[in-house]
Amino acid sequence: MEIISENACFGGVQGVYSHRSDSCDCDMTFGLFLPAEAKDGPVPVLWYLSGLTCTHENAMVKAAAQGWAAEQGIALIFPDTSPRGDGVANDDAYDLGQGAGFYVNASENPWAPHFQMYDYVTKDLTELVFSKFPLDASRQAITGHSMGGHGALTIAMKEVGRFASVSAFSPICNPTDSDWGKKQFTAYLGSDEAKWVDHDASLLMADRGFDGPVLIDTGTKDQFLDLLRPETLAQAAAAKRQEITFRMQPGYDHSYFFVSTFMEDHITFHAEALYA
């Protein structure tokens, strides 16, 4: 692991690091905020998965998360959204290829050699951060925005028992029936739609649910509402009788202005679960 930068931040340290990922077969970069309490021992962890076109840096500098995390004594992990590099497959479109990993393990070429983002987040990066930093593996939560909200919800429901809570800002809720999903799942996973089901938050909610609290925020003025399909997740959660807080926030769009406005709510929500 290489230290790219470390800066004092709200009494703790905001670091950026690079490492070799076996899953993605390339170098990957991530951000990690450690609160002051980490000097005295392992602290709880909140994972933040970012959306389309983002890197590790977007939420790290725009989401206004570190101050609230510092108040709660919680670490923040900001993974990248895809593998990158000259030898990594890409596409001219913003919603496929580098910057658009969708947190799945690709089985189709040219994506399969590097686009193993599910394993990267749940295995490679997990093993690294818990071996190198004072983090408490028994107290983890996960959140994300847009494509990252999709990733947070699907990972939380599949990694049973790992996360105390899950939340999402404007998540892609039903990618198997959306243009933000059909295109990418066909490219990454192939044309057999049965393979897509395991990566659809609404379908997973209907089938499995989540053993803990869920918080969802989406703006009523979100310019991508028809692609996000939040109503499908709300309906699945109601049918499953899932413990969930589902909010449509009046006037807010898809931007980081929206994310930063409600970041305090989300970190407080996760703190309650992590310290329960």
Q: Residue 4 has what pLDDT?
A: 98
- Both ends of the chain: CA-CA distance in Å? 33
Catalytic machinery residues? 146, 222, 254
Helices (H), the chain: 57-62, 66-72, 117-119, 125-132, 147-158, 179-189, 201-207, 225-228, 230-240, 256-274
Q: What is the DSSP letter of 116?
A: B
pLDDT in tens, 243-253: 999 999 999 99
Q: Residue 155 has what pLDDT?
A: 98
Which pLDDT band holds residue 198 (cuts at 50, 70, 90)?
Answer: very high
Query: What residues have CB less than 8 Å from 84, skipping those under 6 apart?
Result: 26, 28, 98
Predicted model pTM:
0.98
Q: Residue 34 has what pLDDT?
A: 98
Percent of the chain exceeding pLDDT 70 equals 100
Domain around 121 = 2-275
Q: Residue 67 has what pLDDT?
A: 98
Which pLDDT band holds residue 260 (cuts at 50, 70, 90)?
Answer: very high
CA distance 219 to 225: 8
Q: Is there a contact between 183 and 95 (Cβ–Cβ < 8 Å)? A: yes
Which pLDDT band holds residue 180 (cuts at 50, 70, 90)?
Answer: very high
Across 176-201, average pLDDT = 97
Across 103-128, average pLDDT = 98
195 three-state secondary structure: helix
* Tally of domains in the chain: 1
The 135-144 sheet, strands edge to edge:
2-9, 12-21, 26-34, 75-79, 43-49, 135-144, 163-169, 214-219, 244-249
**Side chain identity at residue 122, one-letter code:** T
CA atoms within 13 A on the CB side of 237: 23
Residue 168: beta bridge partners?
A: 216
Across 97-122, average pLDDT = 98
CATH at 239: 3.40.50.1820
pLDDT in tens, 42-85: 999 999 999 999 999 999 999 999 999 999 999 999 999 999 99
CA distance 47 to 31: 10
Tell me the DSSP string of 200-252.
-HHHHHHHT--SS-EEEEEETT-TTHHHH-HHHHHHHHHHHT--EEEEEETT-
Q: Residue 68 has what pLDDT?
A: 98
The answer, yes or no, to whether the previous bond of 35 is cis (omega within 30 of 0) is no
Q: Which residues of 199-232 are buried (b: 16+ CB within 10 A; e: fewer)?
A: bbbbbbbbeebbebbbbbbbbeebebbebbbbeb
Mean pLDDT of the residues in the chain:
98
Which pLDDT band holds residue 208 (cuts at 50, 70, 90)?
Answer: very high
pLDDT in tens, 4-40: 999 999 999 999 999 999 999 999 999 999 999 999 9
Q: Residue 207 has what pLDDT?
A: 97
Q: Residue 243 has what pLDDT?
A: 96
Q: Residue 178 has what pLDDT?
A: 95
Query: Could you give the C-alpha distances from 94 to 32, 67, 79, 101, 197, in angstroms and in order?
Result: 26, 31, 18, 11, 23
**Pairing status of strand 75-79 against strand 12-21:** unpaired
Q: Residue 153 has what pLDDT?
A: 98
CA distance 204 to 211: 12
Q: Residue 36 has what pLDDT?
A: 98
Residue 63: beta bridge partners?
A: none
